[in-house]
Amino acid sequence: MPYTDLPLVAPERKTSGFRPLKVLHHFGKLVENKEDTEQVFHIIEATKGRKSHALARSFVTSPDGRRMLAEAVDIPAMLDDHGRWADCGPQTVAAHYIAFMQREGLSAAGLVAESHRWAPPESLPQDQTQWYFDRLRDTHDLFHVLTGYGRDALGEVSLLSFTYEQNHNAGILFIAYAGARQIRKVSGTRAPLFAAIREGRALGRAAQRIAHQDIAALMREDISEARARLGIGKPEIYRQCLAILESEGVAREQLTLGGAQAA
């Protein structure tokens, strides 16, 4: 069924509010393995409230939202088709995105598969709101590329604080602050981790919403021009934190939620 024929909100869709015990359970699993992305989806669902649904409704009913809904672009398939971007120059968003994904061994389809481990598509409400939530998921790695946050533990939680200001899901913000606290606990660092989280929130508030962009057009933009157009600033405190951690003997790639070994 075309997305335009689906209801804006399916009758069975519910807002969960904040379910603290479920959140803590799944955060514990995320601490054990920060690559276990499925746990993030559990936390998001356990904290999805009215703000997230209102934002979905606002975008889906906007002219840009209606156009993108009708176009029904498969964003993961488009992003994973690296040949599609072969004619893009070395400083385009596409070139930086492909380099990032290849360096990290990631694919957009892989993130979709992780979300389906949490909830198979057939178990989710079939509505336009779900199309919007899927769009937020499918653009996650573009957030990394455009903001400059890495996939180290601090980069991930700082990016989540940026993301919170873009989509207003309380679970995202919980992971950001709880993750920073966990990093401090296991590393003993003097780096201003919570300042990095606050910086991420400020950058996210100042920026245009990335998931609301025409992704195909964005990929062909010069990355510096795209950042300027979208109002995405540099995560300076995050970089300062990494430098302090490095001076303390904790390399970026060794930083995790579950522990950090000295270099």
The residue among 50, 48, 49, 46 whose CA lies nearest residue 22 is 46
Structure tokens at 198: 């606050």
Q: What per-residue confidence (pLDDT) applies to 173? A: 87
pLDDT in the model for residue 261 = 43
The per-residue pLDDT for 31 is 64
Q: Which residue has the tokens 């003997």?
A: 249
Residue 152, Cβ density class (10 Å: 0-12 exposed, 13-18 middle, ≥19 buried): buried
Residue pair 256/186 in contact (Cβ under 8 Å)? The answer is yes
What is the distance between the alpha carbons of residues 245 and 254, in angstroms, rounded to a whole number? 10
Among 117, 141, 116, smallest CA distance to 130 is for 116
Which of 74, 71, 81, 213 lies closest to 142, judged by CA? Answer: 213
Using CA atoms, how far apart are residues 186 and 256, in angstroms rounded to an integer? 8
The radius of gyration computed from the CA coordinates of the chain, to the nearest angstrom, equals 18
pTM for this model (two decimals): 0.87
pLDDT tens, residue order, the chain (263 aa): 789 999 999 998 876 555 555 666 656 666 666 566 666 666 666 566 678 889 999 999 999 999 999 999 999 999 999 999 999 999 999 999 999 999 999 999 999 998 888 778 888 889 999 999 999 999 999 999 999 999 898 998 999 999 999 988 887 888 899 889 989 988 899 999 999 999 999 999 999 999 999 999 999 999 999 999 999 999 999 999 999 999 999 888 777 666 444 33
What is the reported pLDDT for 109? 97
Domain boundaries, the chain: 24-254
The secondary structure of residue 30, as a DSSP letter, is: H
| 93-104 and 140-147 helices, crossing angle to 10° | 110
pLDDT of residue 34: 54
